[in-house]
Structure 1
Amino acid sequence: MIEREELMRETAKIPWQKLQRFFANGSTIYVSPELDLIEVAWAICQDDKPQIEAWLGVGQVGQVTDQQAMTWLEGDARLWSVVVKPWVLVQPISV
């Protein structure tokens, strides 16, 4: 089982261009900047369905949309990311 500390060590800033192949196969998950990326990853690891459904319900977590992908590509965006197989969670970097 994965630990929170491991998730923290595996979190990195990555250019969207390097994540596009994961988007193409439908495995990228958007995490709102309002949330803690590690907490979301941990909830997924723990299969915390009520919490995940709550985030999904208010749009704080969800599949990356075509519009988001295009905006990030055009803006040469760097995103926080962490892998929680089979997903790659991505979060815009707050300035």
Structure 2
Amino acid sequence: MPDDLKTTLTESIDQASWEWLLPHVKRDAVLMVSDDLDLVEVGYAIASDQVQLVQTWIDSQLIHKPWTEQISDWNGQPQIRFNALIIQPFVLVQPIP
């Protein structure tokens, strides 16, 4: 992975509240990233069109759109926070424990 892009992506990670993510969820742009994966690595794979790798993660449900149950749970926990990385047109997120 080129160091400059990795550095840029790492510096672009920010924390987001559920309230901030809601408009992105409504436009179907949020992708949940498993804790088993590195947010920067996933962002890099998407940004660099590594289709096979990304498809493997999707098939394994390591990245997915938020499930209805998750959305319902988070609507009841507005204080929940996420690490977020924007890779247009997506917002990649991982809940912060």
TM-score (norm 2): 0.88
In the alignment, the residues of structure 2 paired with residue 33 and residue 74 of structure 1 have an alpha-carbon distance, to the nearest angstrom, of: 22
Match of 2:88 among 70, 85, 88: 85
Number of residue equivalences: 93
- Name the structure 1 match of 2:26: 24
Percent same amino acid among aligned pairs? 26
CA drift of 1:22 comes to 0.3
In the alignment, the residues of structure 1 paired with residue 20 and residue 73 of structure 2 have an alpha-carbon distance, to the nearest angstrom, of: 15
TM-score (norm 1): 0.90
- Name the structure 2 match of 1:38: 40
Unaligned runs of 5+ in 1: none
Moved over 4 A (4+): none
Unaligned runs of 5+ in 2: none
RMSD over aligned CA atoms reads 1.3
